[in-house]
Amino acid sequence: MLYYSADQPSQPKRGGVTALDQEPLTRLRAVRVPPPPPQTFSRHIESSQHVAETPASSHRFVVVPAFAAPSGHVNSDGYALLQLWEGQVLAADGGNVTAVVRDWTNPTMPDEEVTVSIDEFAPDEQVLVTPGAVFYWSIGYRTRGGTRERVSAFQLRRLPPPSKAERERAKKEAVALSALLGARRSI
């Protein structure tokens, strides 16, 4: 599982402003921590169509799902990922969610627009399913105690809002960039 921390590394400077791609990630520095079980975060359906609800996450810093392992890899929870998409919500109304999903298992697959029920998301998270929200949709098998489940799970990406320090630094660098690049000209 990748969590994002709010570390603030020092930044190299060039030409009076930070060279963006040389800057170590500030707000989004990834830190590896042991993954929680997937059901901590999401609601899942079993192949029998029985719907099981599980507690939604109260974590502030979720992230990229634990199941971002190679397809077919079986983790310690007995979960084998078959398919993973990243999605971005386009619209959420009338109990439906329309989103663009990008295939993370096979990046050569084209993006698709899908419409699913809002009930695919954990009840506590449904209020956050709004245009622009990013989520992960995984499909896999979980094998435990001689039982195999086919699992479809939707999990929202959660990132911390920018801190005051981050906002102040962004403002400062925006002023510098604007002074450097914002000069208008004509030929």
The Cα–Cα gap between 136 and 66 comes to 11
DSSP tag of 51:
E
CB of 174 to another protein, least distance (A): 4
CB of 148 to another protein, least distance (A): 11
CB of 37 to another protein, least distance (A): 20
CB 62 within 8 A of CB 139: no
The Cα–Cα gap between 49 and 52 comes to 9
**CB closer to another protein out of 75 and 83:** 83
Sign of torsion, CA 20 24 29 34?
Answer: positive
**CB closer to another protein out of 34 and 161:** 161
Which residues face 4 on adjacent strands?
A: 30
> Which residues are at the interface with another protein (CB under 8 A)?
14-17, 19-22, 25, 27-28, 45, 49, 82-83, 88, 90, 96, 98, 100, 103, 106-117, 120, 128, 130-134, 139, 141, 150, 152, 156-159, 161-162, 166-167, 169-171, 173-175, 177-178, 180-187
The Cα–Cα gap between 125 and 177 comes to 37
CB of 71 to another protein, least distance (A): 8
**CB closer to another protein out of 32 and 34:** 32
**CB closer to another protein out of 75 and 100:** 100
Sign of torsion, CA 94 100 102 103?
Answer: positive
Q: Tokens for 149, please give them.
A: 């489940």
* Greatest Cα pair distance in the chain: 74
**CB closer to another protein out of 34 and 93:** 93
CB of 140 to another protein, least distance (A): 9
